[in-house]
Amino acid sequence: MRALRITVTALAASLVLTACDSEGGDTDSKPRAGEPCAIGSVRIAVGPANVAPAAGDTGNVPVTVTNPGPECTLKGFPEVVLDTGHHSVEVPADKAAKAGELTLAEGTAASFTLTYVRGAEGDGSLAVRTLRIALPGSSEQRDFDWSNYGPVAGTDTPQASFTAFQQAGD
């Protein structure tokens, strides 16, 4: 009889624990403070850009992440990839950029800037079609059209980099 009471008690305790997370709250799909911002839960705007007009010129493309929902965190750098449709290359963070941590409350935004050198059409440059972005702490990605910005100088190593996240707005 004593073994039955222990088994029932252990079963009840495991059921109670599965209904709570490590913070002691109810489990649900809403992000909690400190959780990474999920790319499917935020709005991302690319541009308007300062487009590089000719080969050798430098352009800047701002990327803004707005959190319309519960508080979440951007910790570290995003993953930024330039894709030609046949070849993808990762863009490195600017050497002077320091990865940080920003908490985005509901309705707040953060941004980073992608800087690139425009390449010559068909001259060993990347004929980029798509800008692919993943937020830190997540493997989910979102694609954005690159056609307005022109080719990027470089092939396996693009002449491009991006800054760390900065708080955007007021």
Ordered DSSP codes for 105-151: -TT-EEEEEEEEEBPPTTSS-B---EEEEE-TT---EEEEE-TTT--
Looking at residue 170, what is its pLDDT?
Answer: 59
Looking at residue 122, what is its pLDDT?
Answer: 76
Question: CB–CB of 74/104 below 8 Å?
Answer: yes
Strand 79-83 and strand 130-134: the pairing is antiparallel
Place of tokens 């487009």: 51
Looking at residue 124, what is its pLDDT?
Answer: 81
Rounded to two decimals, the pTM is 0.78
Percentage of residues of the chain with pLDDT beyond 70 = 80
pLDDT in tens, 23-59: 333 334 454 557 999 999 999 999 988 999 999 999 9
Tokens of 169: 């707005």
Q: Residue 19 pLDDT > 50, yes or no?
A: no
Looking at residue 140, what is its pLDDT?
Answer: 93
**CA–CA distance, 29 with 5 (Å, rounded to integer):** 34
Looking at residue 40, what is its pLDDT?
Answer: 92
Looking at residue 33, what is its pLDDT?
Answer: 58
Q: What is the mean pLDDT of the chain?
A: 83
Instruction: Catalogue all structural domains in the chain, each as residue range(s) with its CATH number.
Output: 30-168 (2.60.40)
pLDDT in tens, 118-163: 999 877 899 999 999 999 988 899 999 999 999 999 988 899 999 9
Higher pLDDT among residues 82 and 1, named by residue: 82
